[in-house]
Amino acid sequence: RLEGCPLLEEGLWLLSEEEAHHLMTVRHSREGSFVEGLLPGRIVLTRLERRGEKWAVRFVEELSASDEGPEIVLLAGLLKGDSFDLLLRQVTEIGVSRIVPLCCDHSVVRLDDGKAEKKLARWRKIVQEESKQCRSSTIPLLDRPCSVEQALTLDLPSSRFVAAIDASAPPLASLDVPSSLVLAVGPEGDWSAGEESCLRGASFLPVYLGHRILRAFTAAAVVSSWAVQGWLG
């Protein structure tokens, strides 16, 4: 990932120790090896050069960025333990554009300000790693955790869906997929009645994912994947 790497001259990026270590020891690259570089919205072919004790990559040519996709904003209830990390990894891989962690009425996790900062730094690292892993040139935006009410004051796409355990709600497969949308998935303890009515009042259409109650991170992956597949299809 070249974003943030200092430019020594036009088209020559100095690699961080971490990136250089990854290339030399994990990817077995050597001086002169061709490596792909990820920039926001771009993938470039570069060649590895030694610069004293350090390593740099020189631009060779532009490659096509093939990871275009729909605009997917995911409002996701905070989860305990490593479950939220897993949710972040999966939805980043699938291709969401923005994730808004929600402190819900029934969330088991409570974040005070100190904890929220530490978590946010860790989550940012996770989405960066995961974007790199799946060769995406874009990293999803990650908001600070907020309540459902606060999330509804954000500038959100007008096509809105909330995963609701409600067999009378339409199944996902019956709906058309817009190219810009917001999806909401609740925490382990589900939405409170107040949150559900807030979401419905803000034009979120309830959608049903089947007769099984899915883990929240699975539900997030299912709805995100629906949006990407629909956009591709």
- Cα separation of 36 and 46, whole Å? 6
How many alpha carbons lie under 13 Å from residue 203 in its C-beta half-sphere?
8
Q: What's the residue count for the chain? A: 233
Q: If binding is defined by CB under 6 A, does position 88 make contact with ligand SAM?
A: no
Q: How far is CA 150 from the centre of its chain?
A: 20
- CB-based contacts of 155, cutoff 8 Å, min separation 6: none
Q: If binding is defined by CB under 6 A, does position 196 make contact with ligand SAM?
A: no
Q: Which residue has the tokens 């409570």?
A: 110
Q: If binding is defined by CB under 6 A, does position 216 make contact with ligand SAM?
A: yes
Q: If binding is defined by CB under 6 A, does position 14 make contact with ligand SAM?
A: no
Q: If binding is defined by CB under 6 A, does position 175 make contact with ligand SAM?
A: no
Region near ligand SAM per CB under 6 A, out of 37-45, 88-96, 124-132, 207-215:
207-215
- Selected binder of ligand SAM within 85, 126, 208, 225 (CB under 6 A): 208
- Selected binder of ligand SAM within 72, 75, 102, 163 (CB under 6 A): 163
Q: If binding is defined by CB under 6 A, does position 173 make contact with ligand SAM?
A: no
Q: Which residue has the tokens 């990817």?
A: 27
Angle formed at CA 114 by CA 128 and CA 109, multiple of 5 degrees: 80
| C-beta separation of 63 from 35 below 8 A | no
Q: If binding is defined by CB under 6 A, does position 188 make contact with ligand SAM?
A: yes
Residue number with CB closer to ligand SAM (70 or 186): 186
Binding site for ligand SAM (CB under 6 A): 163-165, 185-186, 188, 190-191, 208-210, 212-216, 219
